[in-house]
Amino acid sequence: MEDLRVNLCGIELDNPVIPASGTFGYGYEFAELYDINVLGTFSFKGTTREPRYGNPLPRIAECTAGIINSIGLQNPGVEKVVAEELLKLKKCFNKPVIANVSGFSVEDYVYSCGKLDREPQVGWLEVNVSCPNVHGGGMSLGTDANKVSEIVKAVKKVVKKPVIVKLTPNVTDIVAIAKACEDAGADGICLINTLTGMRIDLKTKRPVIANKIGGFSGPAVFPVAMRMVWQVTDAVRIPVVGCGGVSSAEDVIEMMLAGATAVEVGAANLVNPFACRDIIEDLPETMRKYGIARLRDVIGGAK
């Protein structure tokens, strides 16, 4: 029988499939459709210190082999997430969850991570320094190796749980940023977040989304994500969670062969809410097809 288990920063997952932050809400919405406990885990909606309405509408633009979004980290703020969202989640998900945290300053990250670190259901903290849809934080922090290092060091001082840093692909040298994370004490790295892109409506002759530029994700970015996972896993010793354009069991295995320990699925959830469930169900047969008995054995197998 095929063994789908992997170990992510000291915590065993039943399988490596993880819905990505921003595409799975706080989980309980999807629990109305299927038993989300089939997931390895999931990364809940990006959470900030203060509540955020997000960016003006419209926020979504469809495009060939992908989607552009500019949600802008809409969320109720960390206090409400702890007091309300995690309580709802606890009723339908019995595994450790990944808490995705965004901020606009080092202090923001420290405050929110400290709060979430104390929650029993939180297994990992995913420090998001890569959101392209906010001004003065997110990606503007994640493109600076020194700033990323400062954030990671500050967060590590106040938390006990593993810290995974989610990186932006919109940099000249992804390896330098990843190594800065590792040197600062990060326990893992997640990449990639969205590329930046835009669309123009030919009828109005104006950008489709109100923010003009947004985050581009979907199958079109998969080769870019693969390349960066390959480069970073060559350069660091900590585990890497691969993300970007994954939509099938074959994609999961390919990304793991490039070096990923686990794999996040993002835009596919917006197209098909059963995407992650279907991928997990397809994995055993796909493993048999390629002669794989234990999925963890393929990690970095193409090196």
* Single-letter amino acid, residue 264: E
Residue 290 burial class via C-beta count within 10 angstroms: exposed 0-12, middle 13-18, buried 19 and up: exposed
Q: What is the dihedral of CA 286, 14, 191, 136, to 10 degrees?
A: 140
Which of 80, 62, 105, 69 has the alpha carbon at shortest distance from 26? 80
What phi and psi, each to the nearest 5 degrees, are found at residue 291?
A: 70, 40
In the residue annotation, 181 being an active-site residue is answered as no
Q: Which of 9, 63, 92, 131 is catalytic?
A: 131
Which residue has 């917006």 as its token pair?
270
Q: What is the dihedral of CA 88, 90, 96, 98, to 10 degrees?
A: 0
What phi and psi, each to the nearest 5 degrees, are found at residue 93?
A: -140, 120
d(CA 83, CA 95): 19
User: Which residues carry out catalysis?
Assistant: 131
